[in-house]
Amino acid sequence: MFKDIVRVADQGFVRLRTKAGELIAGRDFLDDGKSVVEVKGWVNICLRERGKIVPGSRRDGHNIWTNTGREYLALLMSLADSSNTFRKDAMGYIGVGIGATLEDVNVLSLNNPVAFAPSVFLAALDIPPTFPLTPTRTTVRYKRTFTEDEITLAPGTVNISEMGLFTNGSPTNIPAYAFGTRDVTYASRLAQSPVAYKTFEPVPKTNALQLEITWEIRF
C-alpha cells in the first residue's frame, strides 16, 4: 500500500567498435534478464503550532507513483523532434483532500479534494526543490508549508487524509502540457490527475496550525 516501484525493462546492449575489433558492453542484469530502475516516493507530514511540531501529527510512508506519472516520465525524456521533448512541464503543485482511495497506479484524481485558498485547489510547491545526497544521490525533495489560514478557510477542523503531486502543464491545453498551463481552480479539482498519490491517517488541520509537507522522489 505504501510503495510503488516503476520497473523499466532494458534488455539492450551497447556495441562499441574499435580498431581492435568489436567490443560489446553489456548491461547489469537481474536474474530475470531485465535491469530495473526504481522510482519511489517518500512523504513526511506534520502539523506545527508556533513552529513546534504538534505531538501525534507526524505521518510518513511511501506513496504510489501513478500511470499518469509513468506516462509523464516516458514523454519527458523522449524527443518529439530534433529540438523538443514530448513534455515540457515540470513538477509544480500539490493538492490535498479529506477523502481516500486505494493507492493504485490507476488513480486519476483525489477522492475528495479541498481548496487551500478561496476557489483554488492546487498549491505551488516551493521553488527551487532541493537535491539531498541521502538516502540516494538521485533524490529530489519537494516541499510545501500550508499556513494557518490556508486549507482551514473557516473556523473548525479539516481532516486531511490524502494528497497528490501535479505537474504545471495542462492536458487540455494546446499544445498539450505546455509549461505553466495547469488549471489550479477548485472548480476543476476532479479533472486533475496526479503523478503521485498518498493516503494516510487523517491529520486535523485547524486555523491555528501549519501543515508541513515534504515529498521526496528517489530514483
Residue 101, judged by CB atoms within 10 A of its CB (0-12, 13-18, 19+), counts as: middle
What residues does 143 pair with on adjacent strands?
214
Give the per-residue pLDDT at 35. 52
Give the per-residue pLDDT at 20. 35
CA distance linking residue 40 with residue 44, whole number of Å: 14
Give the per-residue pLDDT at 31. 40
Other C-beta atoms closer than 10 Å to the C-beta of 7 total 13
Residue of 99, 118, 122, 119 lying closest to 195 (CA atoms): 122
Q: CB of 47 within 8 A of CB of 179?
A: no
Per-position pLDDT tens, the chain of length 219: 444 444 444 433 333 333 333 433 333 333 444 455 667 789 999 999 999 999 999 999 999 999 999 999 999 999 999 888 999 999 999 999 999 999 999 999 999 999 999 999 999 999 999 999 877 788 999 999 999 999 999 999 999 999 999 999 998 887 888 999 999 999 999 999 999 999 999 999 999 999 999 999 988
Share of the chain above pLDDT 90, in %: 71
Distances (CA, A) of 34 to 53, 62, 75, 93, 173: 44, 24, 21, 33, 37
Give the per-residue pLDDT at 37. 61
Give the per-residue pLDDT at 6. 46
CA distance linking residue 3 with residue 120, whole number of Å: 29
pLDDT tens readout for residues 52-81: 999 999 999 999 999 999 999 999 999 999
The domain segmentation of the chain, as residue ranges, is 41-218
pTM to 2 decimal places:
0.82
Give the per-residue pLDDT at 219. 82
Q: Which residue has the cell 567498435?
A: 17
| C-alpha cell recorded at residue 217 | 522522489
